[in-house]
Homo-oligomer: A and B are copies of this chain.
Amino acid sequence: MNSTISSNQRCRIAVDAMGGDYAPLNAVLGAVEAYNHSDSFDLLLVGKETEIKKVISENNLDFNSENIINADEVIEMGESPASSLKTKKKSSIVIGAQLVRDKNSDAFVSAGNTGAMMAASTLITGRIKSVGRPTIGAEMPNVNGICYLYDVGSSKDSKPVHLFEYAVMGSIFAKEMGGIINPKIGVLSMGEEEGKGNEVSEAASRLLKQTKLNFIGNVEGRDILAGEVDVIVCDGYVGNVLLKFGEAVPKLLKYLLKQTADTNFLDKLKIGITKGTLKKALKSLDYQEYGGVPLLGINGISIIGHGSSTPKAFKNMVLRADEMYQKNLVQKLTNSIIEYSNQIDKAEING
């Protein structure tokens, strides 16, 4: 057996130890726990070596310091993504993206500056050939489990061909990672009839209709939660607004509940029970369970975490990166984009 192929079969996952509000503690704790939990991948920790070593020793972690990749700089949360990539070439985000570009790692996971991570993945690691725009999705709960919404990653002013790409990549992700056979795909719109979308969404529908994807047409805002469609595509501006609106709902509920409480004991008791039950019911919305979201369309695995990621969230992000590697997701996305693009009239893609 060829030794090069053999060594490539074991997944290598680089984790940005400097990313997130509690860096490097949470990143190191979570990543090393995932590493100890599984023997299918190698782990690289990217960041300030002395700080990483300190966390390892203080927490008595079992981790070989040869697998620390030193990065002297950190791109802070508030920094401009575009300029920080240029000015901080020794940052953990730049070095992590380079590791994947140079095939020294298969995946890069970071809970650092989201914009910088997206830019580094796109510009340094690079896109899959024939993907115009990489995309981030959100897993929205519904009565059947999950609906995948693409794009929520601020990819604004998308063109119809981008929505087509989101549909292809979202469909592959829902199938491979969500276990949904032949996912139903819809384009977000104001009504189910044709013509109820905007210019871009209607043009995207015309592209999707030409493919062999399981495209069901226009879907509405309520369908995100209704469970009749598996993958919904929209412009990143719309998806981002929806996602943030949805995230704010539990807080409003809590407030409204408080408002209904009269002064009597029984009402207060009821509110207490309601809060507890709701918390349990909303557990499926907890980001820690899935950890972070992959940026699809990158020529490698790129996973972006929430700034406030806990060790558990980091652990789940690393395990997800490993699963994406084991399922050969990047290759499948590459093949699918080519396959479905070939089913479309080329003049219409560019038009």
Contact = CB atoms under 8 A, between A and B. Distances in A.
Interface in A265-311: 270-271, 273-274, 276-278, 280-282, 284
Interface stretch (A99-107, A169-177, A247-255): A247-255
Contacts of A188: 241
Interface residues of A, number: 55
Contacts of A251: 225-226
Contacts of A141: 252, 256
Nearest to A156: B198
Nearest to A154: B190
Given A247-B222, A248-B224, A277-B271, A143 B255 contact: yes
Interface in A220-251: 220-222, 224-226, 234-238, 240-249, 251
B225 A245 contact: yes
A234 to B, nearest CB: 8
Contacts of A255: 143
Nearest to A266: B273
Q: Which residue, A142, A222, A277, has most C-beta atoms of chain B within 10 A?
A: A277
Contact of A260 (B235, B253, B281): B281
A157 interface: yes
A55 to B, nearest CB: 31
B221 A245 contact: yes
A79 to B, nearest CB: 12
Interface of A: 141-143, 154, 156-157, 188-191, 196-199, 201, 220-222, 224-226, 234-238, 240-249, 251-253, 255-257, 259-260, 270-271, 273-274, 276-278, 280-282, 284
12 contacts: A143-B255, A156-B197, A198-B235, A222-B244, A224-B248, A225-B248, A225-B251, A226-B248, A253-B253, A260-B277, A270-B273, A278-B278
Given A221-B244, A245-B245, A256-B284, 6 more contacts: A141-B256, A142-B252, A188-B241, A189-B237, A270-B273, A273-B273
